[in-house]
Amino acid sequence: MTLHLRPVQFVDTPVGRDGEVARLAGGMTWFSAYEVIEDGKRRTVPIAAFDTEFGGNERATRLHGAITAPRPALTLGDRVLRFDQPSVAAILNVTPDSFSDGGKLTDPAAAAEAGFDLTVKGATMIDVGGESTRPGAPLVWEGDEVKRVVPVIERLAKSGALISVDTRKAVVMEAALAAGAAIVNDVSALLWDDRALDVVMGSGCPVILMHSPDPKKGPHGGEGYRDVLTDVFDWLEARVAAVTAAGVDPTKIIVDPGIGFGKSLQDNLALLNGLALFHGLGCPIMLGASRKRMIGALSNEAPAEQRLGGSIALALKGIETGMQLLRVHDVAETAQALRVWRGLKDAALVASR
């Protein structure tokens, strides 16, 4: 079994702990040990003992380097997307049937106005989608998807907003990028459409690669996992390597473990508890857990519009484990939680000096 390293034992400050802690992905979080997962067993190795324990182990050294390396910022036109602290990506669905807010924003002008409002509320990026990826959702013809997203993206782009397009179709990617989107967010990790990788390569745009068990069939297939945490990591590791080998700049790849996509409640909980493992991919990480069904499953089947508390809890879990992007519906509330978290971090750093 391949060795994996998960950062654990997080601390408030590195001050006075030289050699005992490591910085997580160049962000505002430090950790003092690794959970080592190997041959089906788990053990804990302190950072202070890393060199002694893993001297000469090429994979462990590479993973440690990836986990601790800063993630370069992305300059996208006049906008800069930084990864040294967490930020909010707002969900803007222009679909009639999305699981949470379908049908509310099918008018382009109203959708764009909602997008403007989301930036005011604290969103760094607006993720515009024209096809629902909920379980059982019908496939949308690419022409219809283009008609849904392009007028909204054009309006938002004129305001200077940073926009990603949530699509798995090459034609939609091309149209959205031409309209002013800067990032492609593909739930199939560029595997559903055979031309998608070429579009990303040709444009030079950043891409978000999300895990799903069988992207060619759709985001909710799959037949289960041996160990969901390491299985998803290995899949994303292979996908990042393949996309990089094809010519995509590795500094422009963001990964998403795909919470809720082809995964059971227990799978999702295991992934969320093990999120820090994914820093070993060396990429910024997007967490999309907002209003997901697992929240309802843990709270008396609360409907999507009543899952704010659970969404904030999962967002904070992501922040604490170093996730750089939080893809959410409830922007103002998540941004407020993030600011309070940042205040606590700043206070801990100041108090220790």
Give the pLDDT of residue 181: 98
pLDDT recorded at residue 138: 80
What's the pLDDT at 101?
52
Q: CA–CA distance from 1 to each of 37, 46, 326 (Å)?
A: 9, 22, 31
pLDDT tens, residue by residue, 44-93: 999 999 999 998 899 999 999 999 999 999 999 999 999 999 999 999 99
β pairing state of 79-81 and 74-76: antiparallel
How many C-alpha atoms does 101 have within 13 Å on its Cβ side? 19
233: left (phi over 0), alpha (psi -120 to 50) or beta: alpha
More confident residue, 137 or 229: 229
Give Cβ neighbours of residue 138 (< 8 Å, ≥ 6 apart). Answer: 97
Using pLDDT thresholds of 50, 70 and 90, give the confidence band for residue 336. very high
The answer to whether residue 164 scores a pLDDT higher than 80 is yes
> Stretch 340-346: mean pLDDT, rounded?
95
203, pLDDT greater than 90: yes
Residues belonging to the active site: 292, 327
Res. 96: pLDDT tops 90: no
pLDDT digits (tens, 9 = 90+) for 242-299: 999 999 999 999 999 999 999 999 999 999 999 999 999 999 999 999 999 999 999 9
- Residue partners of 241: CB distance under 8 A and separation at least 6: none
State the pLDDT at residue 95: 86
pLDDT of residue 161: 95
Residues of the chain with CATH 3.20.20.20: 74-348
Return the CATH number of 74-348, one of 3.40.1390.10, 3.40.50.1370, 1.10.10.60, 3.20.20.20.
Answer: 3.20.20.20
